[in-house]
Amino acid sequence: MSEDDDGLTPTEDPAVALARARALAVFCDFDGTFSVQDVGSTLAKQYLGPSRIELLGRWQSGELDAWTYNIALFTGFRLPKDELHDFLATIELDPGARSLLAWCAEADVPFRILSDGFDYNIDWLQEHHGVRFDYASNHLEYGGAADDEWRIAPGARNPACSCGTGTCKRGIISAVRRERPGTFCIHIGNGRVSDLCGAEEADLAFAKETLADALRERKCPYEPFETLDDVVAKLTSLVAEARQLRES
């Protein structure tokens, strides 16, 4: 890992905060974090060439937010299921994805994918890769004017948050915190747009790529990672350290 990837030093050692916490919960982005490729953006690049470029400009200028960009992009979008499935079969999981699921199951830590992608694709990929996890995401179903047409709906819009996404991760993490006070929340992600609010809301963020850039710009501390294996290694040492602190 280069020096540029070093997260900032947190004001409080996460192990100390974890030692004080009553529980631990792990949240993880899907596209580009739990999976290697980003389903939505790869799909858009592959199938929506010119209209995507135009809409991207309108999003970057602030005219569209992340969700209205999705709406503009995918309204009337037609892709036969077979073709979608062939495309989804090219999406790989992070090499540490299974280890992370196993670690959470073993440690009895609730794990939840928070995705600004679509449930249809996540369900298909779970089946395809033989993994199971709890998740929150946007909704996709087939059957508009034509039976190969997409119909999409947001999962958890949050007007109180500036992310503008269909599934606001801050809102979901803060709701868990309200329900179960004293929970130490971890968020793992890679994207400035869809992960920043979740990373800010979490007690500890694991970040790479544009999420790491955004957190560095804001001087928010984070743990850098490359694959989820790095995250599992760090979680293991963090939990061991917190246990030692509690026992001392």
Could you give the angle at the alpha carbon of 196 between the alpha carbons of 195 and 198, nearest 5°?
Answer: 65
**Residue 228 near Zn ion by CB under 5 A:** no
User: If residue 7 lies in a helix (H) or strand (E), which one and from where to where?
Assistant: none
Binding flag, residue 190, Mg ion (CB under 5 A): yes
Six token digits for residue 231: 């995250």
Query: C-beta of 72: minimal distance to Mg ion in Å?
Result: 20
Closer CB to Mg ion, 73 or 242, in the complex: 73
Tell me how crowded residue 162 is: count the other CB atoms within 10 A of its CB: 12
- Least distance to Mg ion, CB of residue 115, Å: 8
Residue 39: which of Mg ion, Zn ion, none does it interact with, CB under 5 to 8 A by kind?
A: none
Size of the site for Mg ion (CB under 5 A): 5
| Nearer to Zn ion among residue 170 and residue 216 (C-beta) | 170
- Under the binding rule (CB under 5 A), the answer on residue 40 touching Mg ion is no
Residues forming a β-bridge with 150: 142
3-state SS, residue 63 = coil
| Choices 5-13, 27-35, 82-90, 166-174 (CB under 5 A): range interacting with Zn ion | 166-174
CB 200 within 8 A of CB 214: no
Sheet containing strand 150-153, edge to edge, reads 150-153, 134-142, 111-118, 23-29, 183-189, 204-207, 223-224
32 lies in the site for Mg ion, by CB under 5 A: yes
Least separation in angstroms between residue 193's CB and Zn ion is: 10
State the DSSP code for 35.
B
The nearer residue to Zn ion, 31 or 94, going by C-beta atoms, is 31
Distance, CA of 113 to chain centre: 6
CB of 80 to Mg ion, least distance (A): 26
User: Residue 228 CB, nearest distance to Mg ion (Å)?
Assistant: 13
Q: Contact positions toward Zn ion, by CB under 5 A? A: 161, 163, 168, 170, 197
